[in-house]
Amino acid sequence: MTTRTRYFLLQIPGWVLATVLLAALHRWLAFPAWAAVVIWAVYVAKDFLLYPHLRSAYETTSPSGAERMIGQVGLVKRPLEPEGTIQLAGDLWQARADGHAIPIPAGRLVRVERAEGLVLIVSPESQPTSNA
């Protein structure tokens, strides 16, 4: 299923609900039919106008938050023995050293190699830093 199809299929319940509510207003409160049609058309047009801005939220191929971190460099906050915590892009992430038996100390720079769920698999960068 395409992203466009998924987006518009998910809009149908809102369109049906708007139709029912506007029909009820017309029937029970003598709301003018022409006004109900105009309001419904504006409501539907809003979904078409918003689609380009919301398309990425409906894509199934978008990488997860952890997968977007691959290749970035972070700072070890809690030593990786083999698991610990790193700071990356201002956030703390659970991380695991990639195949290293030697712990990676706090204050060392690491590069994200891959993600396994929400755990980042990292390897040490060549130069340590003095920030701990």
Greater model confidence, 127 or 54: 54
10-38 b/e (C-beta count within 10 Å ≥ 16 → b): ebeeeeeebeeebeeebeeeeeeeeebee
Q: Which sign, positive or negative, has the C-alpha torsion 92, 96, 100, 105?
A: positive
- Domains of the chain: residue spans and CATH: 3-58 (no CATH), 67-124 (2.40.50.140)
pLDDT value of residue 61: 72
Work out the average pLDDT over 80-93.
90
Q: Is the pTM of this model over 0.85?
A: no
Contact between 100 and 124 under an 8 Å Cβ cutoff? The reply is: yes
pLDDT value of residue 129: 52
Distance, in Å, from the CA atom of 100 to the CA atom of 81, rounded to the nearest integer, reads 9
Residue-wise pLDDT for 41-71, tens only, equals 999 999 999 999 988 888 877 666 777 888 8
Give the model's confidence band at 122: pLDDT under 50 very low, under 70 low, under 90 confident, else very high.
Answer: very high
